[in-house]
Homo-oligomer: A and B are copies of this chain.
Amino acid sequence: MPVPPSAQPLRTPRRRAPRNTLNPDRILDAAITLLDRDGTEAFTMRALAERLGVAPMAIYSHFRGKDEISDAVAQRLLDTVELPGACGAHPDRELREVCLGVYRLFTEHPSALQLLTTRPTRGDDALAVIDRMLTLLRACGLPRQDAVRAHVALMQYTVGSALWSTRRTRAMCEEGARERAKAKLRALPPERYPALASLVPELLCAQDDAAAQYEWGLDRLLRGLLAGV
């Protein structure tokens, strides 16, 4: 959001940066830091350049533009998902670990997740993770087509959950938000929303631990996916 006018008279006129101060890796590192610390709103070519100590246009020697950086950030983060060591004895447990790894990555880098969902797929995301999930699903006994569908369902549930919880987290950052949400829930007209009104205590406590909620749902989803094989 734009900022109200202010008197910032003159910025110090940057001295020329030495050659090769910049490279794609350094740029992506800075981008991720910026994104994690200040969120997508603050992720600006100008802010990125300032962090790197160069003029905004210097970045364009290494990336075609902001979109390309966004894609590269998403790509890079996806490649850092920690995969459990393959033991092979319990593919279902291993599968659960992979999903948790993806969920953890997304909640640790909420703005990367936002980026990922905002930009269109190039179809080559997270190949290592996907391959591992497919291997494990096949090891669990799923037929070929079902394994593919199951992996998509797991990713969808994971992305949705991460998004849900970062959205909540962001909302709860505001001062007194928790109290206001609580009050709003309690003020619900019971004749219009009977189920909602009667479940207020459960709703309140379910919202408090996003990770526990994710695991609860994951276990049920896995049960549904692997049932009867």
Query: Which A residues contact B (CB, under 8 angstroms)?
Result: 1, 65, 67, 114, 117-124, 127-128, 130-132, 134-135, 138, 144-145, 147-150, 152-153, 155-161, 163-164, 167-168, 170-171, 173-174, 180-181, 184-185, 188, 192-196, 199, 202-203, 205-206, 213, 216-217, 219-225, 227
Q: Give the residue of B67, B118, B160, B222 whose beta carbon is less than 8 angstroms from that of A156.
A: B160
Residues of chain B lying within 8 A (CB to CB) of residue A149: 206, 213, 216-217
Query: Main SS of the interface on chain A?
Result: helix
Q: How many copies does the complex hold?
A: 2
Contacts of A118 in B (CB 8 A): 114, 118
Q: A131-B196, A224-B221 are in contact. Are A171 and B202 (CB under 8 A)?
A: no
Contact check, B181 vs A123: say whether CB atoms are below 8 A apart.
Answer: yes
Choice from B67, B117, B148, B184 contacting A167 with Cβ under 8 Å? B117
Q: How far is the CB of A173 from chain B (nearest CB, A)?
A: 8
* A to B CB contacts below 8 Å, 18 in the list: A120-B167, A120-B168, A120-B173, A123-B184, A127-B193, A134-B199, A145-B202, A147-B202, A148-B203, A152-B213, A156-B157, A156-B164, A159-B163, A160-B163, A221-B221, A223-B223, A224-B225, A227-B227
Residues of chain B lying within 8 A (CB to CB) of residue A157? 153, 156-157, 160, 217, 221
A144 lies within 8 A of B224 (CB): no
